Structure 1
């Protein structure tokens, strides 16, 4: 039995990159033609010239907040509920649509394993013939369907458990004896603890794939002590599977159907390998062709390849949220403004805006990494006031001294 879902996982990096960059211009052209919203966002872009990561990085990032705003405006005008982003319409081409918080509406196409989740299930040990207990929500959101479609593509049978009704779920597990669990890690822990209290037998569950929440190593080990090998996946309703964990337990391997960039929050500028930034995804999905979609999640690229033999790049996993917009003295300051300040000064490598003080006494200081230049602090302070309309202190710090955690704005105020 193969250790890999398909041959794509073991391609040479050069072969994969060539295939992705060959597909990219076609996807950009398709997005411009078939998606009204992407056509506006990418107006004037020569799709044929977007054939490298450098060219891709010059395109605008569309963040979830913008997607929501476009959907809201479109719905208010009595137009397309998807804000012009979907390339398919109601009918046979769109069997279902879903709602995520916002609400943001997402379409589902007819492609088998539409969100490409099968690859993550296979890496987590799921195989044809397994019975899977799916405890993701089947209500409005696509989480359960993302995993169910992947399980079907692997060849599994799915019990649609959904959320809640813990006692009934435990009864089903004891009587049906599924091998695998899909759902959040916190709910799996609840099931295990309730089973221990009630004496319910759930020893059949020996594998799991979780998502939707942070999955710390301590909880992973807790499950392992109880006979369950549980792995994590990283997917969103907008772009499907982004990355998945393997038995190596060394980061998450990027899916074969997406192009992932890590950019400095508030910008579209890719950061160096190992630096924490926002996950930006270009998905090769003709039905919902999102180009440079900003997920709002923080992560970082890891060096090297997965020890399992999968050759795609890896990310560290979910490291927090990139949207650090903060209200200071009654005005919103967002990471894009910090980025605008930094771009005015080539001598600045990185910056971090620290907001401190007690409530109603906000103080802000911009820390900038620089080897030093005469009068830099005052010039930057002038730029801070110009961009944010707020006064703030500026402190020049040594290059490399700011934490590598993706934070551009740190809220250190006391709310007690």
Structure 2
């Protein structure tokens, strides 16, 4: 059985990086020339000058959280696509609403690579339990499976009894869907006396994969793999047989930035996942997913040479309301920037129903606290107690605002 989907996965890391950077100017130029929304966003930038990650980091972010507003001004795609709505193969509507277009072609969401890494091969049957209703997840995995030559049971979500019966009758080799739904199907099958022993592979996404679930599937002889993607971008990263992080997909450039900013963080530090895609129809330029992750050091033992993500580590948008005012990660980043500081954490708590706000900043100079407190008041209109803590002492979890208040 072939170990890798194609030679791209095992090429030297330096060759991949050089190829991505070489493609950047043309892709940015294409977006600027053909997508009205990007023509406005990138008006001040020369695409030919964007030939490094540092130069890419100077471009503005397109935040997923802002898409409902962006698209609402210019329906359906906010001017961020290079083709007309009627030229797409399908148009989806995710909660928000956020509209996504699927381009024509084979496996346009690129999930065949992830399914291949899980062990799916031509002639396999898989039961696809992702939603087919409005949102693209079901189609994403179906088109990936079709590209591999697999037969797909388009099961969708819900109806565990029918799911269990189909699994027993059609005997799929694998399951794709959310991490917990397969457990419900298997337990229903057990209750009904159906044999689901044909299922030995599972590829999951769209929810947290907790250790008890891995243990449950392992006990039933099911090899479990996961991937990470979004409805806008398709596949971003996927698990391999090494089970050590998620390997970044080919054909995208991933940055990890400090939450609330577009600034790159050092390798290994948790930050927001930002993706630049090379899709010609929807050329996302610095698309801020709102998800937290970090780049793992080294390379995967499976032989793939792309960088790896630690996995999904939470949400980057930690905005909260304190004393009647909204506080955003970008405001804390502005406070730190004014004082030449890199890391800080706003702690929001409650004492007897009264909001309490404190800011910890990493600095060897304790005297900086008073000046920072003045800046916090200037930027956020909130008074906060500021404490300088030793450099490197704050947790590496991507949190800029830590709200521990309990709301009943």
Match of 1:110 among 104, 107, 125: 104
- Number of the residue aligned with 1:128: 122
Question: Alpha-carbon deviation of 1:414?
Answer: 3.2
- Contact residue 349 and residue 399 of structure 1 kept, 8 A: no
Q: Does residue 358 of structure 2 align to residue 365 of structure 1? A: yes
- Contact residue 113 and residue 153 of structure 1 kept, 8 A: yes
- Number of the residue aligned with 1:90: 85
Greater shift, 402-411 or 350-359, is seen at 350-359
- Number of the residue aligned with 1:77: none
CA distance in 2, matches of 1:359, 1:150: 54
Partner deviation per Cα, 1:48-79 (whole Å, 9 max, x = no partner): 111111111111111112222111222xxxxx
CA distance in 1, matches of 2:81, 2:406: 43
Greater shift, 378-387 or 39-48, is seen at 39-48
- Number of the residue aligned with 2:254: 260
SS in 2 for 1:357: strand
- Number of the residue aligned with 2:64: 64
SS in 1 for 2:68: helix
CA distance in 1, matches of 2:24, 2:68: 25
Listed as ranges, the matches of 1:125-274 within 5 Å are 125-274=119-268
Partner deviation per Cα, 1:224-258 (whole Å, 9 max, x = no partner): 11011110010101111000000101000000011
Normalising by structure 2, we get a TM-score of: 0.98
- Contact residue 180 and residue 213 of structure 2 kept, 8 A: no
Greater shift, 105-114 or 214-223, is seen at 214-223
CA distance in 1, matches of 2:214, 2:37: 41
Structure 1: give runs of 5+ residues left out of the alignment: 75-79
Q: Does residue 407 of structure 2 align to residue 415 of structure 1? A: yes
CA distance in 2, matches of 1:164, 1:121: 23
Q: Does residue 391 of structure 2 align to residue 396 of structure 1? A: no
Query: RMSD of aligned C-alpha atoms?
Result: 1.1
CA distance in 1, matches of 2:210, 2:160: 23
CA distance in 2, matches of 1:45, 1:240: 27
- Contact residue 329 and residue 360 of structure 1 kept, 8 A: no
CA distance in 2, matches of 1:122, 1:279: 24
Question: Alpha-carbon deviation of 1:359?
Answer: 7.3
CA distance in 1, matches of 2:210, 2:148: 27
- Contact residue 358 and residue 414 of structure 1 kept, 8 A: no
Question: Alpha-carbon deviation of 1:217?
Answer: 3.1
- Contact residue 350 and residue 369 of structure 1 kept, 8 A: yes
- Contact residue 366 and residue 387 of structure 2 kept, 8 A: no
SS in 1 for 2:359: strand
SS in 1 for 2:88: coil
CA distance in 2, matches of 1:200, 1:337: 56
- Number of the residue aligned with 1:5: 5
Question: Alpha-carbon deviation of 1:363?
Answer: 1.2
Q: Does residue 361 of structure 2 align to residue 405 of structure 1? A: no
- Number of the residue aligned with 1:14: 14
SS in 1 for 2:334: helix
CA distance in 1, matches of 2:58, 2:177: 37
Question: Alpha-carbon deviation of 1:355?
Answer: 0.4
Question: Alpha-carbon deviation of 1:159?
Answer: 0.8
Question: Alpha-carbon deviation of 1:199?
Answer: 1.6
- Number of the residue aligned with 1:314: 308
Normalising by structure 1, we get a TM-score of: 0.96
CA distance in 2, matches of 1:361, 1:60: 37
Greater shift, 286-295 or 352-361, is seen at 352-361
Q: Does residue 371 of structure 2 align to residue 379 of structure 1? A: yes
Question: Alpha-carbon deviation of 1:358?
Answer: 4.4
SS in 2 for 1:223: helix
Question: Alpha-carbon deviation of 1:90?
Answer: 3.0
CA distance in 1, matches of 2:204, 2:193: 24
- Contact residue 358 and residue 415 of structure 1 kept, 8 A: no
CA distance in 1, matches of 2:159, 2:91: 25
Question: Alpha-carbon deviation of 1:216?
Answer: 2.2
